[in-house]
Amino acid sequence: MKQHPLFVNRVAVLATMHHKEKVIAPIIEQELGIKVIVPQDFDTDRFGTFTREVKRTGNQIEAARLKAEKALDATGETLALASEGTFAPHPISPFIPCNREVVLLLDKTNELEIVGQELSIETNFSHRIVESLQEAQDFADTVGFPEHALVVMLSSSPKSQDEIIKGIKTTEELVEAIEFALNSSEDGKVYIETDMRALYNPTRMKNIAKATHDLVRKLNNACPNCSCPGFELVQRKKGLLCAYCNLPTELTLTAIYRCQKCGFSEEVFFPDGLQNADPSQCMYCNP
């Protein structure tokens, strides 16, 4: 893939403490010619934790941006990468959990901020209240343990590290954590959930890699007017005509791309490669 001259031979600091460089760095270095480094002793937990004892700073993009900015402050570099993940019901099928990953590139030299994204139903995100070791082991069997680590808590909203045992990766650790929590619980109930930190969750790592590839794709899409990277899709317009009745459907007719640097925009017809919609997608032909 052709590398953009704005990035070749530059250094990017990756704001992580959870080994995300294992999947992000190889893609960025190979595809963009950027050397990726990780700052020493960079604590990303201060921006929020999945176990809720530290509330996330802002929304997903804001949290990633803040990580990147703090990494630049700590290192004196001008180019940063940061990742942030969320887990929630799928926007279309709310009964299915999904993982949204973003990988943000912040370039202070060229005043650019570009975000790659991945929305996936490939996730083991889950939690349960248990009252016995057997119930905890049953839960572990359903979420990919021990390849995926677990978290045991005394409360669903812990207020301190004393109430949480993270990074449980072996059966012995699970037994010890559950027995300790059951003995410490006031009501005999213990909260167990999947550890969603990247280094303990291979499935999440795969989604972070996909978001990184999306970032690279956007960076390699240059503006036709000023050649700035990140000529990005900003809007889809519905109205693709039905192949049978010629009435507009809910499918995409055009896509609008815009450059964040010079403001140039371009409307592209039939971005999904379809000249007409199948009648099965038409509200008139198939109400």
Is it the case that residue 82 has pLDDT exceeding 70?
yes
Task: Give the separation between CA 79 and CA 13, rounded to whole angstroms.
Answer: 6
Alpha-carbon dihedral sign for residues 138, 143, 149, 153? negative
Per DSSP, the three-state class of 151 is strand
Indicate whether 191 and 212 sit together in one domain: no
- 161 falls within a domain: yes
Is it the case that residue 7 has pLDDT exceeding 60?
yes
DSSP lists the bridge partners of residue 252 as 238
Strand residues in the chain grouped as ranges (E): 11-15, 35-37, 79-89, 97-107, 112-120, 127-130, 150-153, 164-168, 190-194, 232-238, 252-258, 265-269
pLDDT recorded at residue 160: 65
Model confidence at 94, pLDDT cuts 50, 70, 90, reads: confident
Alpha-carbon dihedral sign for residues 85, 202, 51, 20? negative
Alpha-carbon dihedral sign for residues 138, 139, 143, 146? negative
Mean pLDDT over the full length of the chain: 94
Q: What is the CATH number of the domain that holds 215?
A: 3.90.950.10
Q: At what angle do helices 171-184 and 133-142 cross, to 10 degrees?
A: 140
Indicate whether 106 and 18 sit together in one domain: yes
**In 84-201, where does DSSP find H-type helix?**
133-142, 171-184
Instruction: Report DSSP state, residue 248.
Output: B
Mean pLDDT of 99-124: 96
Percent of the chain clearing pLDDT 70 (strictly above): 98
Taking only Cα atoms into account, the Rg of the chain, rounded to an integer number of angstroms, comes to 23
Indicate whether 48 and 107 sit together in one domain: yes
**Residue 44 burial by CB count (10 A; 0-12/13-18/19+): exposed, middle or buried?**
buried
Indicate whether 102 and 132 sit together in one domain: no
pLDDT recorded at residue 8: 86
Helix (H) or strand (E) holding 132: none
Indicate whether 92 and 149 sit together in one domain: no
Indicate whether 274 and 191 sit together in one domain: no
Question: Phi and psi dihedrals of 224, rounded to 5?
Answer: -65, -20
Is it the case that residue 97 has pLDDT exceeding 70?
yes
Indicate whether 190 and 145 sit together in one domain: yes
User: Can you give the residue range of the structural domain that contains 114?
Assistant: 11-123+201-219
Q: What is the CATH number of the domain that holds 137?
A: 3.30.1490.20
pLDDT (tens digit per residue) in 185-242: 989 999 999 999 999 999 999 999 999 999 999 999 999 999 999 999 999 999 999 9
Distances (CA, A) of 232 to 49, 50, 270, 271: 30, 30, 16, 13
Model confidence at 1, pLDDT cuts 50, 70, 90, reads: low
Number of domains in the chain: 3
pLDDT recorded at residue 130: 97
pTM tops 0.85: yes
Indicate whether 119 and 131 sit together in one domain: no
Is it the case that residue 2 has pLDDT exceeding 70?
no
